[in-house]
Amino acid sequence: MIDYTMNDGHTIPAVGYGVFLMSPAEVEAHLPEAIEAGYRHIDTANAYFNEKAVGRVVKRSGIDRSEFFITSKLFPQDYGHEDCGKAIDATLRRLDTDYLDLLLLHQPYGRYTEAWKTMEDAVAAGKVRSIGMSNFSQAKAQEVLDMASITPAVMQVEMHPYWNQHGMKAFFKDRNVTLEAWYPLGHGDAKLMAEPVFAELAEKYGKSPAQIILRWHLEEGNVVFPKTLNPAHMAANIDIFDFALAADEVARINSLPQKAYYTVPDEPPAFVLQHNDWDAQE
């Protein structure tokens, strides 16, 4: 595993395990396999409704909490100052931990500047080590940057070879913000995986197309947490540290046509507004 150092001095493992769209039962079944395979970085969220299961599995692993890097995310319904403080405490309770390694604002809606202040208070109180944003446009990120006492350590956005986020990276470069990739493998898109450049490089390095894509992320400095329920894929996705892509190979991958799978709307979509009872999970 390699670790990156974020702009606040804390380190983050470059590869983690994402648990989006996993039920508590799936987390109980598959997160232990991921931990067994060597993963220590887990990416969850209030809105994944599986934090309690993540907390149970981490406790049951018998591995010291300090060995793990745990991320969660707050939803806009909780961004008001008082609600946000309560939401952070509730997240810690569900995950059965006294601190989070990283806490993100999951969506760019509502009172996010207020929530940022409350997250800064949580850092001062030792409840959270690093804070960041997810899915923010550059304009909304700028609003946070303009009022923040703590510069965001992380921006988590859709990022894969079809959407390399070079514009967002240029925007954050001076502040050394670490970019994290959601959909690092294009959510399993068969067309992306079948791009000839990946087959060719897979043949050259004795790896799979998915491993070439994940190695491209590392060459780009991205944090990834591919999701898989398949133990063979879990092992493959962290077996990417024994080779490197050449600069011209990275450039070839970056010359693929660019298109996002999902455009974050300016106003909150219905699925964002529907959520709120985060304790309603096993």
Ligand X SMILES: NC(=O)c1ccc[n+]([C@@H]2O[C@H](COP(=O)([O-])OP(=O)(O)OC[C@H]3O[C@@H](n4cnc5c(N)ncnc54)[C@H](OP(=O)(O)O)[C@@H]3O)[C@@H](O)[C@H]2O)c1
The annotated binding site is made up of 106
> What residues between 183 and 202 interact with ligand X by CB under 6 A?
183-188
- Should residue 230 be labelled a site residue for ligand X when binding is judged by CB under 6 A? yes
Q: Toward ligand X, which CB reaches closer, 38 or 247? A: 38
Q: Provide the angle, in degrees to the nearest 10, between the axes of the packed helices 209-219 and 196-205.
A: 90
Site for ligand X in 129-148 (CB under 6 A): 134-135
Q: Least distance from C-beta 45 to ligand X, angstroms?
A: 7
- Report if residue 220 touches ligand X, rule: CB under 6 A: no
Toward ligand X, which CB reaches closer, 39 or 225? 225
Q: CA-to-CA distance for 29 and 53, rounded, in angstroms?
A: 10
For ligand X, the binding residue among 18, 24, 76, 85 (CB under 6 A) is 18
Cα–Cα dist 211/201, whole Å: 10
Q: Are 69 and 54 in contact (CB under 8 A)?
A: no
Which of 201, 223, 196, 228 has its CA nearest to residue 212? 201
Candidates 14, 19, 27, 154; binder of ligand X (CB under 6 A) is 19
Q: Give strand pairing partners of 163.
A: 160
Taking the C-alpha atoms of residue 254 and residue 251, their distance in angstroms, rounded to an integer, is: 5
Q: Annotated catalytic, 48?
A: yes
Per CB under 6 A, residues contacting ligand X are: 18-20, 43, 106, 134-135, 156, 182-188, 208, 210, 225-230, 233, 236-237
